[in-house]
Amino acid sequence: MRKFYDVDMREYTTFRAGGRAAEMVVCDTAEELAETVLSLKREGKPCIMLGKGSNTLFTDRGYKGTVIRLGRDFRAVAVHGVSVVCGADVSVAAAAKAALAANLTGFEFASGIPGSIGGALFMDAGAYGGEMKDVVTEAQILRIGTGQVETVAAEEMELSYRHSVFQTSGDIILSVTLGLKPGDHDAIAAEMNELTRRRNAKQPVQYPSAGSFFKRPEGCFAGKLIQDAGLKGLSVGGAQVSEQHSGFIINKGDATADDIIRLMHLVQNTVRDKFGVVLEPEVRIIGD
């Protein structure tokens, strides 16, 4: 277990913006994680789990609690038949590469999703017509109330678009098992390469961002609504609605969290006034 204090959270989030956290604890084992969580709970101190920071923004005023990250024991990938078992801190890209190496198909859609596999399950991440709920079979979790490690089936996770039971239960994902199918190595690689090409062509991958900023409203796309509202390229400070893809808010180099949040509200208010649609952020905003 490693502890750090007064941590600059710009270094741990893909937005590269935001304030500082009072404390960060990196837990290398499930035992350390349980000890940390139960201790913080007894002391009444707030805490939050953080994966690769791809869907999180810390406010400029920072976070007075403890940020918990997963270390050594949560970074392994194992293939058993058609199952790929990933520690929660394994990147989604690494999980996709492991599936490719084992000639397993079904996870190609996720190969370009940033972040950890645990974070992807937490958010039911998806892309190009696929979602985590399509491939997850079970997960090992730490029950936040008892500190016990349990295995839960996908049916118990309440997975739906950008939602899982973990968002309300607070239980912590330790590992994720993907159920895939045998496939042709070259075909899998070709599909992954094609999705990468499409992503690089359509998304502002050269700038710090949190990926698609808003959830998809029912019956339409957030990016199209934002573009039709005339907001493409709109800036607040160093934050901008991407000129390449209106569904992205990007950091042009010196954005503060406040810039990003102010731009988010401006986009939400404009789209609501023009089209009567309320855009909900995918991004978790943490802090005071």
Active site residues: 162, 212, 282
3-state secondary structure the chain: CEEEEEEEHHHHCCCCCCCEEEEEEEECCHHHHHHHHHHHHHHCCCEEECCCCCCEEECCCCEEEEEEEECHHHCCEEEECCEEEEECCCEHHHHHHHHHHCCEECCHHHCCCCCEHHHHHHHCCEECCEEHHHCEEEEEEECCCCCCEEEEEHHHCCCECCECCHHHHCCEEEEEEEECEECCHHHHHHHHHHHHHHHHHHCCCCCCEEEECECCCCCCCHHHHHHHCCCCCCEECCEEECCCCCCEEEECCCCCHHHHHHHHHHHHHHHHHHHCCCCCECCEEECC
